[in-house]
Amino acid sequence: MELYSGYISRLIGELSVLPGIGNKSAQRLAFHIINMPKDKVENLANAMTEARNNIKYCKECFTLTDNEICPVCKDETRDHRQIMVVENTRDMTAYEKTGKYKGVYHVLHGAINPSLGVGPNDIRLPELLRRLQSVDATEVIIATNSSIEGETTAMYISKLIKSSGIRVTRIASGVPVGGELENIDEVTLSRALDARVEL
């Protein structure tokens, strides 16, 4: 026997597929949405639809943006010859919150993970290599997560780039092994950036 009507069950089902949302959280969110004023629900639905339809990848760094070029890549005061490689847009945002990094980014949208069939061509690695050929980069800072996949990706990128003469560094300790960058505080991220090491 179904506990809720079809519409409520469908809403709970759709919400429960979101990352970090279990069945109980989905129920809580569903009932909150149902009890919201109708115009607020429409605003929420429109915001989701518009974001999905209008957000795209920056043509330079591949972060998510609603313009051809993201604000960081557009900023002429930043050092475009220093490129920090991160796994996702959330990691980029975490470093931006420190206010300390003045270079630009390259977002891979993943990490090499052979057990899941994710190889170098399945992330934005070919685009990074093309980008490095077109800019006079002085340093590539590898800021992938301290997971097995992040370390594998870091070593792979280092081997590809080192022969080009570009300085390759890795963010230093301070970021716990297995930790996700988006969950680490700004002070720890700043220290990791300051103490980066040559690869």
What averages of pLDDT result for each successive group of 10 residues across the chain (199 residues)?
76 92 93 95 95 94 94 95 95 92 96 92 94 90 89 92 89 68 74 72
Domains recognised in the chain with CATH numbers: 6-54 (1.10.8.420), 64-198 (3.40.1360.10)
Give me the pLDDT at residue 189, please: 78
Instruction: Say if residue 80 is exposed, middle or buried (CB neighbours under 10 Å; 0-12, 13-18, 19+).
Output: middle
Confirm if 83 and 104 have CB atoms less than 8 A apart: yes
Neighbours of 124 (CB within 10 A): 20
Give me the pLDDT at residue 1, please: 43
- Phi, psi of 9, deg, nearest 5: -60, -40
Give me the pLDDT at residue 162, please: 84
Rounded CA separation 128/91 (Å): 17
Q: Are strands 197-198 and 167-170 parallel, antiparallel or unpaired?
A: antiparallel
* DSSP H helical ranges for 17-118: 23-35, 38-54, 71-74, 89-98
Instruction: Say if residue 78 is exposed, middle or buried (CB neighbours under 10 Å; 0-12, 13-18, 19+).
Output: middle
Give me the pLDDT at residue 6, please: 85
